[in-house]
């Protein structure tokens, strides 16, 4: 990982160099060991070709990925590349200067959730919501949350446990953005953004680079850390990838990904010791908890009630570094590194007790989603 901040005023390539070199060194490798590269490349981030040239890599395989399946598509592709023998050590990364762009362009100058300037005319998917004063994914997810509350009696006090518990975790993490404790009173008195979401239900744009080395199972001897195994990945998309045409407005396309994940493993939800679950907005985390089978449909409110179950010493610790709500919007790229640190026992003050062995990572969820299981091999 590179430096992380609200607005670092650094070029995404510069952040990507720092992030990639840190990851390669952390793995106990050198530049010359890397024979593959993949990036999640969107507006405001560094592309893979640029980084191959900048770092002087000589690769047998590379891929520049967009948003499918989910923002961590590059990680899934890299796993398939090493599985099929195209490469031995793949550096995968995502950098972003979204924080700087949002800060520089000011309110209304850029689109929420991106490093893109506000267009004069809109086309593509946003055409169906930007004319209606709904520029944020939060507007859509809030509607899903409202419907969930209507159908299942879910409450804001239940939902509050996600930011409250994660803020406590962030207080134990040196790279968090917000680390002062958050109380139920703070949450209930906070400014509303789009009901039922207040300020604390929404993540925060930042600048960062996350980088990870994905290695072939026969290339792991001599690495600095014990290798972790990818047990399963899931990328299903079986319903309309659309905010308003999706068939069930109380869950999202993550439903199919959650179901599909368990078809690729003998493990069950009860085996998971630590979870990194997308939290761009609180309700998306709740929908993932249901989709991944940690609780039944409509039961996520009761599941997180009181917060104990999802705390560091609970039965399913989630987003142990504060997640995107407290440690910044990493576009889904913060979960895998944090789950790996937990499985290595390197979580420091925020380490999940009793040696976690199985972690789940779930990214995206609204109109595209992906998930994976990682284990201590």
Partner 1 sequence: MSTVPGPMRIPPLLTELNTDFWTGGLEGELRIQRCTHCATYHHPPTSVCRNCLRGGLTAQAVSGTATVMAFTINHHQWSPTATTEPYVIAIVELPEQDGLRITTNIVNCDVRDVHIDMPVRVVFEPLADVALPLFEPDR
Residues that bind partner 1 (CB under 8 A): 106-108, 112, 118-123, 127-136, 139-140, 142-144, 146-147, 150, 191-197, 242-245, 247, 249
CB of 199 to partner 1, least distance (A): 9
DSSP string across 15-65? HHHHHHHHHHHHTT--GGG--EEEEE--TTS--HHHHHHHHT---SEEEEE
CB of 71 to partner 1, least distance (A): 23
The strands making up 89-96's β-sheet, listed across from edge to edge, are 61-65, 36-40, 89-96, 208-215
**CA gap 233, 375 in Å, rounded:** 12
Closer of 2 and 250 to partner 1 (Cβ): 250
CB of 194 to partner 1, least distance (A): 5
Given a contact cutoff of 8 angstroms between Cβ atoms, the answer to whether 111 and 118 are in contact is yes
Closer of 68 and 241 to partner 1 (Cβ): 241
**CA gap 52, 61 in Å, rounded:** 11
C-alpha dihedral (51, 54, 55, 60), degrees to nearest 10: 60
CB of 286 to partner 1, least distance (A): 15
Q: Closest by alpha carbon to 230, among 346, 75, 345, 36?
A: 75
Closer of 61 and 283 to partner 1 (Cβ): 283
Distance between start and end Cα atoms, the chain: 23
Closer of 153 and 306 to partner 1 (Cβ): 153
Closer of 106 and 222 to partner 1 (Cβ): 106
CB of 240 to partner 1, least distance (A): 9
CB of 292 to partner 1, least distance (A): 23
Residue 28 φ/ψ, nearest 5 degrees: 80, 25
Closer of 139 and 321 to partner 1 (Cβ): 139
């Amino acid at each position: 990982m590179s430096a992380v901040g609200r607005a670092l005023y650094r070029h995404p390539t510069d952040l990507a160099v720092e992030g990639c070199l840190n990851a390669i060194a952390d793995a106990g490798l050198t530049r010359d060991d890397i024979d593959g590269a993949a990036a999640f490349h969107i507006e405001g981030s560094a592309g893979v070709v640029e980084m191959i040239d900048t770092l002087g890599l000589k690769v047998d395989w590379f891929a520049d990925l967009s948003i499918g399946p989910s923002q961590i598509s590059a990680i899934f592709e890299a796993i398939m590349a090493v599985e099929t023998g195209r490469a031995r050590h793949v550096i995968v990364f995502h950098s972003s200067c979204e924080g700087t762009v949002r800060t520089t362009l000011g309110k209304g100058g850029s689109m929420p959730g991106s490093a893109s300037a506000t267009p004069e005319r809109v086309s593509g998917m946003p055409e169906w919501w930007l004319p209606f004063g709904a520029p944020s994914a939060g507007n859509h997810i809030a509607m899903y949350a409202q419907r969930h509350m209507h159908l299942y009696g879910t409450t804001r006090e239940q939902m509050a446990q996600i930011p409250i518990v994660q803020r406590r975790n962030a207080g134990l993490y040196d790279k968090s953005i917000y680390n002062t404790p958050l109380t139920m009173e703070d949450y209930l008195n906070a400014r509303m953004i789009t009901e039922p979401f207040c300020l604390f239900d929404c993540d925060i744009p930042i600048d960062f680079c996350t980088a990870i080395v994905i290695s072939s199972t026969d290339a792991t001897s001599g690495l600095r850390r014990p290798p972790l195994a990818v047990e399963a990945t899931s990328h299903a998309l079986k319903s309309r990838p659309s905010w308003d045409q999706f068939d069930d407005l109380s869950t999202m396309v993550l439903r199919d990904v959650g179901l599909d994940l368990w078809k690729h493993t003998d493990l069950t939800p009860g085996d998971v010791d630590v979870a990194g679950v997308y939290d761009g907005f609180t309700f998306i985390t709740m929908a993932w908890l249901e989709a991944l089978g940690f609780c039944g449909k409509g039961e996520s409110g009761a599941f997180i009630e009181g917060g104990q179950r999802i705390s560091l010493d609970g039965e399913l610790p989630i987003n142990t570094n504060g997640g995107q709500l407290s440690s910044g919007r990493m576009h889904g790229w913060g979960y895998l590194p944090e789950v790996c640190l937990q499985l290595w026992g390197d979580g420091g003050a925020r380490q999940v007790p009793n040696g976690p062995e199985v972690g789940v990572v779930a990214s995206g969820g609204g109109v595209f989603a992906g998930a994976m299981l990682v284990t201590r091999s």
